[in-house]
Structure 1
Amino acid sequence: MLVRVQRGTGATAHGLSGAEERVVGLLSSWTGKYHLPGLALVNVNVPEKTAVRQVDGLIFTPAGLMVLEVKGFVRPQPGVLTVPPNGPWTVDGEPAAVHTLTGLTPGDQVKAGVYAAKAALADVNGAKDSFVTGLVVLVPQDRELTLGDTGRAGLGIHVTLATQKDLRGTMHRFNNRTSTWTADTVLAACRVLALDHLAPERAELLAEDFLDQPPAPVPPPVPQPRTTSPPPAPARTASTSTNTWYRSPGLPAKPPPDFVFDPISPPTPAAPQPRPAMLRRSPARPTARPAPAPAMRPERRRRIPWGLLIALTLICTIGITAAILVDEMFAGR
């Protein structure tokens, strides 16, 4: 990785703090078989609308841009560092003893640098839609500090320790993305940021695996026509009919009230037949219809009223007997 440091005023040769010097040493050590491609511009300013924002570093890689924020501890503080949703970062529940000149957390500081870099490079061809993220490197004063839950540092913000293993692993995972930055894009970004004095030669950037030409745009996928198959026809059995209710095991004996027969092949209505022509009769004199013959009633077999005959005989006998008795009574006087 190419490392370029903008000189400043301070106790060290580069005008950097001890924590920043340690990170620069780690980045510069990745050569030979430990080489990681990229360009690190350390201790630079990013122009804003009315001022400039100082950032600890801009790390260009073929996969994107990382805004660097280095934070050293002012005293030894062993424990587990976590990032709460709000408030300062903590180590075992206590505020982290990081060196800061403002009241912002390291996550807020690096996010401000990310937004400033995106705005400054918005007009650079090839950098507008590139991936820009933030990297917070913590430099403790002892080796007993470990990282806990740092996922709330911010979207796209990475937090790591200033060790060879941790910092290199973070950079290696970032470089696994698809290459999008070309050598010309990096040089154009340096010109926009007024960092031409730190920019390397184009051949040096090509040796750092930056692209020579922009990647070819990926054509959008051609939509495939969707084929819809008709719904399968309901299965028919030989023992069932479309006009009868088939009782299967577990079904009620009678069809439900909303049951509708659904014949599979409805009968084809017959074609209408022509009506026969009506013959018009010529006007004629009405003819007298013959009187209907009287209906022949079937002959009934007469039954003899024997009871009535016996009664009449008894009445006649009694009457005659009475008359004789009366006549004899009057004749005797």
Structure 2
Amino acid sequence: MQTHIVPVGFDYDRLIAPLVREQLDVDRVILLEGAVGSEANVEYSRNLAEKLEKDYQNLLGAETERFVVADVYDYDEAFEQAFELINAELDAGSEVWVNVSAMPRTVSFAFATAAHSIMVEREGDRDRIHTYYTVPEKYLETELAEELRKQIDMLEDMRTGEDVDERVDERLETARDLLAEFDERGTTIGAKEIDGSHIVELPVASFSNVKPFEEVILFTLGEHGEFESVSELAQQLARDMGEEYTDSFRSKVIYNVDRLGPGGKGYIEQEDHGKSYRTTLSRIGQLWVRAHSAEDRERREPDLT
């Protein structure tokens, strides 16, 4: 069972297009509506939520629930709500996906941080919690701003007595089209595909420091990409470090790989195949290696004791 928690701001496409295009099996959607701001803002967001509710049901067959966030600028309250919602869905047996593309950043960050915290607390459920973002194909605000500039130019010409009849018709038609698109789809249009997916999943970071020998393992995985077994990884490490490949050295590698794996710091992924575990970097492991330069690697001396 898959539940999507979706904060509704002033977007439409980014909140539903990824689920349709990725053909995800969505069973349940929780729509978060803000109740703070101008009357026009609240009404606009509510209208989008109503449209999304219908389309989630019609296009995806998903059960939909609307949930009000009383103050979208109260980070602490939003975090508490997120924590309760995500835990409740996990306890009900659902895989939880949190979309952080819309709504004020306080809510998006609160829900992302809550999801991160729960991943740390519930190690066994890490693979059932996902936080993701969708990139729009274009921002409608820029087109609205450009149209306003053109209308200002036209009005200035009218004031100086120039004939602007044709431009009035053009500006009127464009303004109507833009407003219709804004009312229908919000402030962004479309959902852009990035690296073969419309969903950019945000990885969870570890709260533990990486030890020197663990660093060597991560750099080695970053350099070679994948090893068919931990033994193969240990052999490569022994060669790189000029160490003798012994049972003791292999055990040390196994121990540190376990600490870096899904049940530990989360920097390494392992896939069971036969009697071995195919070992590679997780998404956050790839980011860690990318963020640490070759100069860092050369400077740090691993503690092999």
Coarse TM-score class (shorter-chain normalised): under 0.3
Name the larger-Rg structure.
1
Higher relative contact order (CA 8 A, sep 6+): 2
TM-score normalised by structure 2 residue count: 0.26
Tell me which protein shows more helix as a share of its residues.
Answer: 2
TM-score, normalised to structure 1, is 0.25
